């Protein structure tokens, strides 16, 4: 039974807004929206001189299009309901800022797009030098929306549910003190799989497979794949390989022994306390995060571009002139 005071229900969500396929006129065409009805939330980590120029450029372009810009200039201080009533969330920054923006977008059930101002920016759809085209596409709704899997996480103490959380990338169960090893037992669909001592264990989505899970030795999963990824971190065991399970699986991690306390990190941003000999249950999230995609470039190109993978020597499929197409767009 659940602990007293814990609510399993989810917060009430704002009505879905925006997206070219969300609003239609009686003749099947896209309805014309009055300018004052459209608001974009622009989120930045912090305003610097270079970022400030980009923000002003976006504001000017939205003003011309009759779209209101709501600015959140410190992503860390953004209220949880900042995106409610907005059409899209636009994040200027790197993956850390995008993850905070994803919290706001998910709560309001609106799509999100990232414009990379960082180094890798794997979650970003476009780069800062393409801001004019990106804003034009958003204003004219020339984009598609792709739901990305999330994780729902529950922490149990015996029969009591003590806390809940969610993640877009991964949940990482780690040793709170960062000293010594955790004794963990993994379980999939109600059956034990393995017990080992380790630095920690990650459960990731396909979106998160290129983040922490990738650094820990997990495989890259294409984002349209529906699956859950389990990656032990520096485990002392014969069988401690990454595993990919069904998206319908329920994964559980039980903390054994009492030498070290565990803690669960959701996307490296939100923490869930794990009691002594606690149990963490992870399943596919009920609410996705809706990514905006511009163009039709494949995920493969994003992987090559963002990770700067060597592709010299590739011949590829020949076109009518006998020349291989080696273009690499960012989309995916």
Q: Which residues are catalytic?
A: 95
**Can you state the percent helix, strand and coil of the chain, rounding each to 5?**
20, 35, 50
Closest C-alpha to 172, from 158, 151, 149, 194: 151
Strand, coil or helix: 329: coil
d(CA 174, CA 172): 6
Closest C-alpha to 306, from 141, 145, 114: 114
Q: Are 282 and 153 in contact (CB under 8 A)?
A: yes
Closest C-alpha to 172, from 211, 206, 133: 211
How many CA atoms are closer than 13 Å to the CA of 47, on its beta-carbon side? Answer: 11
d(CA 111, CA 19): 8
d(CA 207, CA 130): 23
Q: 179-193: b or e for each residue (b if 16 or more CB lie within 10 Å)?
A: eebbbbebbbeeeee
d(CA 79, CA 85): 13
How many CA atoms are closer than 13 Å to the CA of 230, on its beta-carbon side? Answer: 24
Q: Are 204 and 244 in contact (CB under 8 A)?
A: no
d(CA 98, CA 93): 7
């Amino acid at each position: 039974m659940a602990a007293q005071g814990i609510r399993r229900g989810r917060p009430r969500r704002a009505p879905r807004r925006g997206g070219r396929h969300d609003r239609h006129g009686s003749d099947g065409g896209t309805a014309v929206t009055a300018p004052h009805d459209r608001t974009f939330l622009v989120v930045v980590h912090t305003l610097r001189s270079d970022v400030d120029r980009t923000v002003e450029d976006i504001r000017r372009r939205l003003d011309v299009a009759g779209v209101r810009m709501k600015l959140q200039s410190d992503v860390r201080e953004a209220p949880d309901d900042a995106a409610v009533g907005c059409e899209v969330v636009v994040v200027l920054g790197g993956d850390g800022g995008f993850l905070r923006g994803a919290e706001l977008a998910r709560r309001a059930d609106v799509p999100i797009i990232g414009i990379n101002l960082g180094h890798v920016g794997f979650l970003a759809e476009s780069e800062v030098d393409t801001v004019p085209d990106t804003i034009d596409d958003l204003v004219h709704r020339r984009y598609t929306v792709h739901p990305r899997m999330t994780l729902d996480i529950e922490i149990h103490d015996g029969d009591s549910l003590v806390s809940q959380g969610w993640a877009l990338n991964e949940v990482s169960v780690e040793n709170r003190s960062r000293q010594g090893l955790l004794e963990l037992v993994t379980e999939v669909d109600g059956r034990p799989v393995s017990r080992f001592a380790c630095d920690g264990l990650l459960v990731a989505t396909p979106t998160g497979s290129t983040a922490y899970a990738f650094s820990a030795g997990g495989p890259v999963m294409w984002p349209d794949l529906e699956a859950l990824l389990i990656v032990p971190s520096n485990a002392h065991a014969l069988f401690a390989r990454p595993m990919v399970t069904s998206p319908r699986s329920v994964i559980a991690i039980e903390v054994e022994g009492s030498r070290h306390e565990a803690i669960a990190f959701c996307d490296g941003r939100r923490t869930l306390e794990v009691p002594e000999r606690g149990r963490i249950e992870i399943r596919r999230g009920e609410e996705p995060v809706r990514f905006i995609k511009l163009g039709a470039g494949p995920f493969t190109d994003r992987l090559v571009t963002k990770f700067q993978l060597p592709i010299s020597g590739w011949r590829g499929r020949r076109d009518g002139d006998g020349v291989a197409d080696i273009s690499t767009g960012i989309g995916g």
